[in-house]
Amino acid sequence: MDYQKLETVMRRAALMAGARIMEIYAEDEFEIRAKSDESPVTAADEAADTLISAELAAAFPGELIVTEEQADSHGAHATSFLIVDPLDGTKEFIKRRGEFTVNIAWVENGQPVRGVVYAPAKGRLFYTRADGTSVEETGELALGRAGEVAPIRVSDPDNGALIVVASKSHRDQATDDYIAKYNVKDMTSAGSSLKFCLVATGEADLYPRLGRTMEWDTAAGHAVLIGAGGHVVRFDTMAPLGYGKPGYDNPFFIAYAPGVELMEG
C-alpha cells in the first residue's frame, strides 16, 4: 500500500463525506429509517457511503472495501482491506448533538494501521500520516484548504487520578462497575469514535467498552490511537484487538494510554 496516497485519499474522502453530512444535518427534517437490526439509518449515512466508496474504489482498485451500509461487503474477507463507517454515531446525528464522525481505515494483516476520524460538527479531524504517526487538523476544514496540523500523543496517566471516557448512548451498569475498579479523577462521555481520539490526544486516559461494536465502528479510531502511542486490547484476554473476524463483530475491549494499570474484569 502506498501510505502517502492513502493519507491523501482518506483525508479527502472524509472531508467530502463530512461536507455532505453537514448539508443534510442543516435541513429542518431528514428521513430516518430502521435497518434489519433495528438500528437507524438516514440519508446522510447513505450519501456519505456513496461518496467514500467511490473515492476509495477509484484510488485503490482491487482492494476490498467493507462498509457498514453495504451488507454485501460483510461476507467478504481479505488479509488487508479498507473499512468504512460513513456516519458513526447516527443516534447522535439524529438528536443533533454533534458527536458523530466519518470513519475510514486501512487494515493490514489484522491490524488497523492507518485511519481517519472526522467530526464535522466539531471541526476536528484526526488521522494517521504516511509515517504512521497521528495528528489533529483543525480550523476551516475544507477540500483544497489545509487546516492547522499538530501531532497528538497519549497522556502520561496518573493511576491515582485517571480520566475515563465512556459511551454517551451505550453506558450500562457493567461499564460503571468496571470503571469503579479504578481511581477516577474525572468522567467524561462522548459519542462515536471520538472516544478513541480523546485518549489519543491525552484528553482521557482510559476508554472501556463493554458492549457490542463492529469493526467499522472502531478501526479508524483504533488506528489513530495506535499512531498516538496508545493500545486497544480485548477485555477477556488482554490480547490486542484484531480485525477481519467473521461477521466483523468485536468483543468487549479496552482502549488506553500505556501507563494505565489495567484491571481485570
Per-chain mean pLDDT for the chain: 93
- Assess contact for 156 and 170: CB atoms under 8 A: no
Cα distance from N-terminal residue to C-terminal residue, the chain:
38
Per the annotation, does 236 bind a ligand?
Answer: no
Summarize pLDDT for 23-33 with one digit per residue, the tens: 999 988 887 78
* For the chain, percent of residues with pLDDT exceeding 90: 78
C-alpha 213/C-alpha 228 separation (Å) is: 22
Please state the domain extents for the chain: 3-151, 162-256
Q: Which residues pair with 249 in a beta bridge?
A: 214
2 is in an annotated binding site: no
Answer yes or no: is 89 a known binding residue: yes
Q: What is the mean pLDDT of residues 31-51?
A: 84
Nearest to 197, CA basis, from 103, 90, 110, 132? 103
Question: What residue type is 166 in one-letter code?
Answer: A
In CATH, which of 3.20.20.140, 3.30.420.40, 3.40.190.80, 3.30.70.270 is domain 162-256? 3.40.190.80
| C-alpha cell belonging to residue 201 | 490526544
**What phi and psi, each to the nearest 5 degrees, are found at residue 186?**
-150, 145
Strand (E) positions, 111-205?
Answer: 111-119, 124-128, 134-138, 148-151, 162-167, 184-190
3-151 homologous superfamily:
Fructose-1,6-Bisphosphatase, subunit A, domain 1 (3.30.540.10)
85 is in an annotated binding site: yes
| Helix 43-59 × helix 3-25 angle, to 10° | 160
* pLDDT for residue 59: 98
Q: Is 49 annotated as a binding residue?
A: no
217 is annotated as contributing to ligand binding: yes
Task: For 138-167, write each residue's pLDDT tens digit.
Answer: 877 777 677 889 999 999 999 999 999 988
Beta bridge partners of 101: 88
Is 72 one of the annotated binding-site residues? no
Sole residue written with cell 464535522: 120
Q: Is 241 exposed, middle or buried (0-12, 13-18, 19+ CB in 10 A)?
A: buried
* Domains 3-151 and 162-256 belong to one CATH topology: no
